[in-house]
Structure 1
Amino acid sequence: MERAAPATAALNVVVVEDDAVVRQFLKDTLEQLGHHVVGEAATGADMVRTVLDAEPDIVLFDIHLPGLNGLDALRQIYQERVVAAVAITADRDQDLVRRALEEHVLAYLVKPIEAHQIGPALMVAKARFGEWRSLQEENENLRKTLENRKTIERAKGVLMKRHRWSEAEAFRRLQRAAMNRRTTMVDLAQSVLNGVEIDL
């Protein structure tokens, strides 16, 4: 069996496979690639416990596991923690592939697996996971920006009503007061909404 080429960046990986021979092959290959196997499991229930305990970069798992299958186990994991996932199966069924992708599986390997296939699959999963996290962060930043804008708009409305200021005047005074206090406009606006008396 050919040896796998070393990886460019070491990853912490949990290996989940009910076949002990295949599991050992996966572990050996990952170590040859320079990755760290930080946990292993042979059932879906153990997969959930091991991934949540070990907090790996990637979980490499067989879909067909005793008891709880791999996709259902992954769904349980995602309720508490998001992790990059690479699925392994002997099936070539397109419906199963579709379901795997719906469960946030980022790469897919079909048995029999060759050593040279594992490294690229992990790199693809890592890259796609990074893209997903970036999108999540962008969405969170956008949501926060919109929330901040709403807070400032509401505070301006309070000040306009309280002092009979124009919208521009209320904004200018909030901005100047925030600069003088070395705080953010949104924090100052929240204080206004909380009823704190502020000299503007």
Structure 2
Amino acid sequence: MPRASLAILVIDENRIRASIIEAGLREAGHDNVTLVHDVTGIARRIAEINPDVIVIDLENPNRDMLENMFQLSRAVKRPIAMFVDRSDQASIEAAVEAGVSAYVVDGLKQERVKPILDMAISRFNAFARLSRELEEARSELADRKLVERAKGILMKSRGMTEEAAYALLRKTAMNQNRKIAEIAQSLVTAAGLLEPGDKG
């Protein structure tokens, strides 16, 4: 999707500051910009608008306002650029923890909006890619453990070697057009059902 076609939501209670952000976005070729000045019910508004990117400007944020925005950031799973006039180390760390892609302190200038937005999108995409890769690695590890358990069950119950047990799992998976991990899961589940339970 070309950057210019991004749907961008700007959340800013200060209309003057919002117009600075909007001008920076429009100057950068972003025409699909929605401004929201009232943060009441903002989660619902975000769901309605369904933006690709969110820009939040908090002129003079208090701790509660920041925490609300950080909770929002965790929930929406989109690139978020946040401008604040002042901050402390704890707020910066909380922003990073919440997944805010760009947290800019005392830097709201029209000419900075585009590069900051681009950075927020890039960082969000990089983080999303890393998260996907981590999830894939975890899934692969879980699958391997499952296959190992299934091989162990076959080796014990049928007196097979490890290689023969794996070959049987593989052949069954191919015959059923399924993944080896799925066959392994079925075998582990079935073996669990066949184990003698407590007789109490």
Give yes or no for the alignment of 1:145 onto 2:132. Answer: no
Q: Distance in 1 between matches of 2:92 and 2:162?
A: 55
| CA deviation string 1:130-182 (max 9, x = no partner) | 11001100110001101111111111122122211122211111112222333
Note the 1:30-41 alignment, pairs <5 A. Answer: 30-41=25-36
Provide closer, same or farther for how the CA distance between residues 192 and 98 of structure 1 changes in structure 2, counting only shifts above 3 A: closer
Q: Deviations over 1:61-88 (max 9, x none)?
A: 123469951x323333245331211111
**What is the count of residue pairs matched by the alignment?**
188
Q: Residue 3 of structure 2 corresponds to which residue in structure 1?
A: 9
Choose from 123, 130, 133 the match for 1:135. 130
CA RMSD of aligned residues (A): 2.6
Unaligned runs of 5+ in 1: 1-7
2:43 to 45, 48, 61: 48
| Corresponding residue number in structure 2 for 1:194 | 189
Q: What amino acid sits opposite 2:13 in the alignment? A: D
| Identity percentage of aligned residues | 27
What is the CA–CA distance in structure 1 between the aligned matches of 2:87 and 2:113, rounded to whole Å?
18
Distance 1:35 1:107 in 2: 18
Note closer, same or farther for the CA distance 1:92–1:167 as it changes in structure 2 (3 Å cut). closer
Residue in 1 aligned with 2:196?
Answer: none
The 1-side partners of 2:115 and 2:71 are apart by 26
Q: Distance in 2 between matches of 1:194 and 1:103?
A: 38
1:121 equivalent among 102, 113, 116: 116
Q: 1 CA distance for matches of 2:189 and 2:97?
A: 43
Tell me the distance in 2 between the aligned counterparts of 1:153 and 1:94. 46
Say yes or no: does 1:85 pair with 2:80.
yes
| Alignment match, 2:194 | none
TM-score of the two chains, using structure 2 as the length reference: 0.80
CA contact (8 A) 2:74 2:98 kept: no
Residue pair 1:156, 1:170 contacting (<8 A) in 2 also: yes
Structure 2 vs 1, CA of residues 99 and 155 (structure 1 numbering), >3 Å: closer, same or farther?
Answer: closer
